[in-house]
Amino acid sequence: MLELLEQLFRQVRSYAQAERYDRQQVYQESPRHITMQFDRDAEDMIINGLIESGIGFEVTTEERPTFSTAPDPQYRIVIDPIDGSQNMSRGLMTAAIALAVLPIDAPVLPENVQWALVGELFSGAVYQAAQGNGAFRNGRRCQVSSVKHMKDSLIGLNLDGRNHQALRALLLEKPAFGSIRRTGSAAIDSVYVASGTYDAYIDVGEVVTGESFLASLSIVLEAGGIVSDQYGKPLQPIRNLTDGYSIVVVGTKELHNEILAKLHTGKQV
């Protein structure tokens, strides 16, 4: 299965790198969401590859209604064809494809993902995991960092339209984080925790949707990381790709506890 996922990634990566598409062309627009033409093109490539594989999938994707590639599919696949669409539309070379495969009858949660891949479309880095077999970056086993305290940490933090009181607590209350970064792709920011690139990634405000984090968080879990909501509780099952979530993704229990304590110095999270 991972070989199929990697083949799909390579196809979309070739398309993205060629830059023969119109970065500004909109395929469809609604009050809630804009689908760029390159998003739709990437999704079409992935779906065609799934159909050609002969494996039955129920396909859940950002850009169209759920459907099946065969009668009585054995698997569900959750697709983010291009996570970082705004980056691509602006010419920023940071975006990813995220693919997560689960048994058809399993609740859609990171811990139930059987195979996952997150691929950076421009750098070519591939993060992947098969349930119970660990996490890998470019074929080498990866593991979360061992950093325990915020003062020593490099974290990813999503600032776009997020909860202002929570952000104020994270940015202004002491102790401070060592360093803060953000790529513009939640899939990449999340999976960076798996390889220890980030010590943590925080996205609070019930905004980020399931296709952006499902594959990444399953890889983080395989690498030994911790995944929770903003209160330290397990994530609720993903029932659609419109409900927003808050995620706190961390390498160590000690740092996770410090981040939760810092978050809750705000009155609302």
| 179-223 confidence digits (pLDDT tens) | 999 999 999 999 999 999 999 999 998 999 999 999 999 999 999
6 and 125 fall within a common domain: yes
Could you tell me if residue 268 is inside a domain?
no
Could you tell me if residue 163 is inside a domain?
yes
Instruction: Tell me how many domains the chain contains.
Output: 2
20 and 114 fall within a common domain: yes
pLDDT the model gives residue 67: 96
pLDDT the model gives residue 160: 87
Could you tell me if residue 123 is inside a domain?
yes
30 and 53 fall within a common domain: yes
Domain range for 187 is 150-263
171 and 63 fall within a common domain: no
pLDDT the model gives residue 165: 87
pLDDT the model gives residue 268: 40
What phi, psi does 10 have (nearest 5°)?
Answer: -60, -40
125 and 166 fall within a common domain: no
45 and 74 fall within a common domain: yes
Supply the pTM of this predicted model: 0.94
**Which CATH number fits the domain that encloses residue 9?**
3.30.540.10
Residue 43 has which token pair?
């999704």
**Which CATH number fits the domain that encloses residue 188?**
3.40.190.80
112 and 165 fall within a common domain: no
Last residue of a domain, one of 101, 122, 141: 141
137 and 154 fall within a common domain: no
- Locate the DSSP E strands across the chain: 26-29, 34-36, 57-61, 64-68, 75-83, 96-103, 115-120, 126-130, 135-137, 140-142, 154-157, 179-181, 200-208, 226-228, 245-250
Distance CA 46, CA 15 (A): 12
Last residue of a domain, one of 141, 165, 180: 141
Q: Which residues of the chain have pLDDT under 70?
A: 266-269
